[in-house]
Amino acid sequence: MPVPERMEFFIDLGRCIGCQACVQACSECDTHKGQSMIQLDYVDRTNSTQTVPIVCMHCDSPTCAEVCPADAIKKTADGVVHTARKPRCIACNNCVIACPFGVPKMNTGMNLMMKCDMCYDRTSVGKKPMCSSVCPSQALFFGTRQEIEKLRPRSRSINEFQFGKQTITTKVNMMVPKETGNEQLDVTAALYGGEVEESFDDPMMANLGVNTDE
Amino acid sequence: MATLPADKIKIIETFGPHLARSTGRRLDGGAEPDKIVKTHCCFCGQQCGIQLLVKDNQVIGFEPWMDFPFNQGKLCPKGVKRYLQGSHRDRLLHAYRRDESVTDGFAPLEYERAISRVADEINRIQSRYGNDAFAILSGASLTTEKAYLMGKFAHMCLRTSNIDYNGRLCMVSAAAGNKKAFGVDRGSNPWSDILKAEVVWISGANVAECAPITTDYVWQARENGAKIIVVDPRITPVARTCDLFLPIKPGRDVALFNGILHLMIENDWLDHDFINKETVGFDGVAAHVSEWTPKKTAEITGIAERAIRQAAEWWGTAKTSFLMHARGIEHHSHGVQNVLGAINLVLASGRLGREGCGYSTITGQGNGQGGREHGQKCDQLPGARDISNPEHRAYIAQVWGINPDEIPQAGVDAYEIFRKIDQGEIKGLLTICFNPVVSLPDNSFIRRMLEKLDFYVAIDFFLSETARYADVVLPGSLHEEDEGVVATAEGRVIKINKAIDCPGAARQDWRIVQDIARALGRERGFTFKSPGEIFTELREASRGGVADYSGITYEKIERQYGVFWPCPSDDHPGTPRLFEAGSWNPIAQGKGRFYFPDGKARFNVARYAPPAEDVDAQYPIMLTTGRVVSQFLSGTQTRRIGPLVDHYPEPRIEIHPALAERLGITDGDWAIVESRRGSCTLRAQVVKTIRPDTIFIPYHWAGERSVNQVTVSAQDPISKIPEYKVCAVRIKKSAGAPEYAAQLEPQQ
């Protein structure tokens, strides 16, 4: 049974608290027990407690599949991009290198690329994925668009991302503040520097009323 | 007698902590469970619903319980991996006795012989030194049935006044403050009220790490339009994106609350009607806070004046609100004053006892609420009754079938029990669900006191660092091996369900306690056949008390997804929200909504005093301690679960770069933290998310990694809670790694 179209995955990084419940729960999924397909880390722990969970974005045109020389990575009609098929995967790492989001990981013990398949064994039978089921802050949310619009009136979702000149459209949505002007989130923009607010540079000092310009 | 076996490495080889990981059928995605048990997490006070998957008497995994209303499937990493505590290589499978001739210090002992030995030692000590010479330290992670039984065992069987519990380290400042202000000690509101608040005020609560599921309530409140105010010396994950962050200097919370009330009065942001009709004592408090001008408040708290004014305006002008606090304001030598200061803000606003208007401590332990209601506190009898009240004593004596005079008078708090060991007044000790060698402050004193005991028996499922000092160890039960109720942070009484049988010769804790009573020849009152029978008596013992469980049944709990106490009759649905207009309680008898004879809440003057140990030239830095999300309390369980230890393997010193640079410390360096009590050497983590005058170290680790070697044993004079949240230290870069780093694994 395919994953119902009305059920969608939303990521809200503003809510992530870095607890790793998603990482731990992912490794409890029946199809890959003991292996977590989610990576979660601090963006810059010196400056902030901001953390980011990386789950597969399930691209409309998955780069991982496009670069796979063995045609091992398949997308089902419901838009879910699956872990490499074991008989086909040649462990070449092309997908690991090519994925703009850095999702696929090589399981060297099994010589197999493994990645998030949106808990296909669960979502295809009407359950939520493990990660979004347990996520304490609901930074990872699985439900209908109507539900998320009602629950998060301050945000809107995007599913188009710009990597240099490559535009990627994904099945998974990212929540962004409603007021932002950008229609697209240019991930590579962060690579070229930019203005850093004083309060970001040292939020504690700023809150204490200490001038950090000195 | 109870000295530590000489070879620590040998004890660790035998008893751990070792790390459990998923292996065998726990890795087999195709393994079909024999049964799926709906129960709750064994860790914090939120008590998330969870389903355990059981095969061949082993918990092999979990499945989210989406229907349980509080968490709707959500779990933190501890809940997800808790099943790995079962079938653990460190599990105690039979009784042990201290044996100096074996290298790990313990030899197996047949269970009945162990029970006889314990009874003989209790008899010997009590007949020689008096009943109070034998003490009990219990815990708030036990079910309420067990907590009730421990209190009854102490007061009726052993007739010792000296029983206290590890909630002394946790919830007692909030409890004392709530009793002074409201006459009752329970979180006032269900968490659903958070969602309807215009302002959510969070003081001293690292919600994201210590009560992770509450995060969703806070974020959802903001989606609904709430402003979130966080008061903390650290930018915790919830503080990171709050609307207003007040980076308070540790130990100055009451000053902030007084300063806010000052501004509320100055701007007339008060609910006069509520204050006049529902409270007493406002004028005295108003006079007291008149000196707490914004300028003075800013000076004492270390918070910018404009931020204090902003917080007062948001709080003062809100229509609905929810104020939450946790150990951050409670773990102080003036913890009760901090709590009273917070409650004064709530009472002055009049926002209590109605939808979207609430106040609560975020209770820490699994049964932090229920464990402090039914008689294992040193001054308490079941039903939140007072052991010094003649009527209360008479009622409980009648339930127990004894003479009121046979019930001992109030004993002393958990820390004082150790001081009484020092003074020679206490000679024998039984512990259950308490690991004071890790969790009490200034723990080198605790270790010396354990060595000084004539006899020490520990009931435990793993050999905790404290149980290593025992003369006899009795193999108790894990959470999933027994059933019973607990009360959550919301005051919701829920049911823990049994998933598996105890392995080996291990027993359910209540059976062990009853076996000791039998061996003592005093089994009357200790012949329960099941937790259900204990609960039936507990309901009766609580009847008419403040914490009235008489209308709660296991069946009603299941049907309603929990029952909020008070629930005084069979047809009563329970009381999710306290203090509603027109509500009835047994103290006010209809005169008002609060639990005093006149039905009115009390404003209490909340006095500021600096921490018991303030900084000085010798020890110029403030140390504050707390938790991380992947560990729980003293780590007896969570330091044995591999994936949780991987997440955050060992304690680090959080230090601001401005301070680190001055001391020549860089990220990852070993650094020595010293106080007047002791020192510990840990790695530094240089972060801009902490005040530059403060360092933070989490406390879940034992031995040389334990920050409680450094902390101060100063206590609140009312609640007796220790001042974990601030003491004076100095810090310097270490010349190299400490010896333990090469000898022990991180969790050991």
Residue type, B227: K
Mean pLDDT of A115-121: 92
Q: What is the pLDDT of residue B396?
A: 98
Q: What is the pLDDT of residue B103?
A: 85
Q: Based on the domain organization, do B321 and B412 belong to the same domain?
A: no
Instruction: Flag whether B611 is in a domain.
Output: no
Contacts of B66 in chain A (CB under 8 A): 128, 133
Contacts of A208 in chain B (CB under 8 A): 247, 302-304, 691-692
CA distances from A61 to A75, B221, B487 (A): 9, 37, 51
Residue of A nearest to B225 (CA): A154
Confidence band for A187, pLDDT divided at 50, 70 and 90:
low
Q: What is the largest CA-CA distance in chain A?
A: 62
Looking at the complex, report in whole angstroms how far the Cα of residue A166 sits from the nearest Cα belonging to chain B. Answer: 31
List, for residues B254-290, the tens digit of each pLDDT value.
Answer: 999 999 999 999 999 999 999 999 999 999 999 999 9
- For an interface test with A, give the residue of B240, B297, B303 to mutate (most A CBs within 10 A): B240
The CATH number assigned to the domain holding B318 equals 3.40.228.10
Half-sphere exposure of B178 (CA within 13 A, CB side): 24
pLDDT at A24 over 60: yes
Confidence band for A196, pLDDT divided at 50, 70 and 90:
very low
Q: Based on the domain organization, do B368 and B329 belong to the same domain?
A: no
Contacts of A15 in chain B (CB under 8 A): 215, 219
Q: Based on the domain organization, do B31 and B76 belong to the same domain?
A: yes
pTM above 0.90, yes or no: yes
Confidence band for B31, pLDDT divided at 50, 70 and 90:
confident
Q: Which two tokens stand for residue B344?
A: 């004064």
Domains and CATH numbers, chain A: 8-208 (3.30.70.20)
Chain A neighbours among B 239-268 (CB < 8 Å)? 239-241, 245-247
The CATH number assigned to the domain holding B51 equals 3.40.50.740
Burial B503-521 (b: 16+ CB within 10 A, else e): bebbbbbbbbbbbbbebbe
**Alpha carbon distance B372, B376 (integer Å):** 7
Cβ atoms A96, A112 nearer than 8 A:
no
**Alpha carbon distance B477, B479 (integer Å):** 7
Q: Which of B319, B354, B389 is the last residue of a domain?
A: B354
Helix (H/G/I), strand (E/B), else coil: B214: helix
Mean pLDDT of B611-621: 97
CB neighbours of residue B403 within 10 Å: 11
Instruction: Flag whether B597 is in a domain.
Output: yes
**Alpha carbon distance B681, B739 (integer Å):** 10
Q: Which of B312, B328, B354 is the last residue of a domain?
A: B354
Contacts of B581 by beta carbon, 8 Å cutoff, 6+ apart: B353, B354, B593
Number of separate domains in chain B:
3
pLDDT at B337 over 50: yes
**Alpha carbon distance B180, B594 (integer Å):** 11
The strand ranges marked E within B315-366 are: 321-325, 357-361
Closest by CA position to B487, among listed B187, B37, B84, B120: B187
Q: Based on the domain organization, do B348 and B368 belong to the same domain?
A: no
Q: What is the pLDDT of residue A202?
A: 75
Cβ atoms B323, B359 nearer than 8 A:
yes
The partner residues of B354 in beta bridges, in order of sequence, read B357
**Alpha carbon distance B264, B348 (integer Å):** 8
Residue type, B644: L
The CATH number assigned to the domain holding B650 equals 2.40.40.20
Instruction: Flag whether B616 is in a domain.
Output: no
**Alpha carbon distance B588, B733 (integer Å):** 59
Mean pLDDT of B336-345: 98
Mean pLDDT of B672-682: 98
Q: Based on the domain organization, do B304 and B376 belong to the same domain?
A: no
- Identity of the residue in B61, B212, B692 whose CB atom sits nearest the CB atom of A136: B212
Instruction: Flag whether B433 is in a domain.
Output: yes
For residue B137, give the H/E element and its range. strand B134-138
Contacts of A36 by beta carbon, 8 Å cutoff, 6+ apart: A23, A24, A26, A27
Interchain contact, A18 vs B208, CB within 8 Å: yes
List, for residues B561-609, the tens digit of each pLDDT value.
Answer: 999 999 999 999 999 999 999 999 999 999 999 999 999 999 999 999 9
Q: Which of B301, B332, B354 is the last residue of a domain?
A: B354
Interchain contact, B74 vs A154, CB within 8 Å: no
Q: Which two tokens stand for residue A81?
A: 């991009």
Instruction: Flag whether B213 is in a domain.
Output: no
> What is the three-state SS of B555-583?
HHHHHHCCEECCCCCCCCCCCCCCCCCCC
Instruction: Flag whether B196 is in a domain.
Output: no
Dihedral sign from CA coordinates of B332, B334, B339, B345 = negative
The partner residues of B652 in beta bridges, in order of sequence, read B683
Contacts of A165 by beta carbon, 8 Å cutoff, 6+ apart: none
Looking at the complex, report in whole angstroms how far the Cα of residue A67 sits from the nearest Cα belonging to chain B. Answer: 30
List, for residues B635-672, the tens digit of each pLDDT value.
Answer: 999 999 999 999 999 999 999 999 999 999 999 999 99
pLDDT at B537 over 90: yes
Looking at the complex, report in whole angstroms how far the Cα of residue A130 sits from the nearest Cα belonging to chain B. Answer: 8
Containing domain of residue B306, as a range? Answer: 222-354
Q: What is the pLDDT of residue B104?
A: 87
Confidence band for A105, pLDDT divided at 50, 70 and 90:
confident
Q: Based on the domain organization, do B326 and B372 belong to the same domain?
A: no
User: Order of strands across the sheet with B455-460?
Assistant: B106-109, B95-98, B472-475, B455-460, B428-432, B134-138, B163-165
DSSP class of B427? -
CB neighbours of residue A110 within 10 Å: 12
Q: The tokens 């009152």 sit on which residue?
A: B525
List, for residues A34-87, the tens digit of each pLDDT value.
Answer: 889 999 999 999 999 999 999 999 999 999 999 999 999 999 999 999 988 889
Q: Based on the domain organization, do B132 and B7 belong to the same domain?
A: yes
Contacts of B240 in chain A (CB under 8 A): 48-50
Contacts of A32 in chain B (CB under 8 A): 29
Q: What is the pLDDT of residue B2?
A: 67
Q: Is B451 exposed, middle or buried (0-12, 13-18, 19+ CB in 10 A)?
A: middle
**Alpha carbon distance B528, B176 (integer Å):** 32
pLDDT at B247 over 70: yes
For residue B286, give the H/E element and its range. helix B282-289
Looking at the complex, report in whole angstroms how far the Cα of residue B196 sits from the nearest Cα belonging to chain A. Answer: 13
pLDDT at A29 over 50: yes
Cβ atoms A23, A41 nearer than 8 A:
no
**Alpha carbon distance B259, A208 (integer Å):** 17
List, for residues B702-746, the tens digit of each pLDDT value.
Answer: 999 999 999 999 999 999 999 999 999 999 999 999 999 999 999
**A102-106: long-range contacts, CB 8 A cutoff, minimum separation 24:** A102/A39, A102/A54, A103/A54, A103/A55, A103/A56, A103/A57, A103/A64, A104/A56, A104/A64, A105/A37, A105/A39
CA distances from B745 to A24, B18, B272, B630 (A): 21, 9, 60, 17
Instruction: Flag whether B117 is in a domain.
Output: yes
Q: Based on the domain organization, do B347 and B389 belong to the same domain?
A: no
Q: Based on the domain organization, do B425 and B342 belong to the same domain?
A: no
List, in sequence order, the alpha helices (H) in B137-271. Answer: 144-152, 172-182, 207-210, 214-223, 237-240, 253-266
Q: Based on the domain organization, do B323 and B383 belong to the same domain?
A: no
Strand-strand pairing, A140-143 and A112-114: unpaired
Q: Based on the domain organization, do B227 and B281 belong to the same domain?
A: yes
List, in sequence order, the alpha helices (H) in chain A. Answer: 21-26, 63-66, 94-98, 120-123, 130-134, 145-151, 198-201, 203-208
Residue of A nearest to B66 (CA): A133
Q: What is the pLDDT of residue A214?
A: 41
DSSP assignment of B138-153, as one string?
A: E-TTS-HHHHHHHHHI
Interchain contact, A17 vs B209, CB within 8 Å: yes
Looking at the complex, report in whole angstroms how far the Cα of residue B215 sits from the nearest Cα belonging to chain A. Answer: 5
Cβ atoms B44, B34 nearer than 8 A:
no
Instruction: Flag whether B65 is in a domain.
Output: yes
The share of chain B scoring above pLDDT 70, in percent, equals 99
Strand-strand pairing, B484-487 and B492-496: antiparallel
Confidence band for B198, pLDDT divided at 50, 70 and 90:
very high
Q: Based on the domain organization, do B341 and B390 belong to the same domain?
A: no
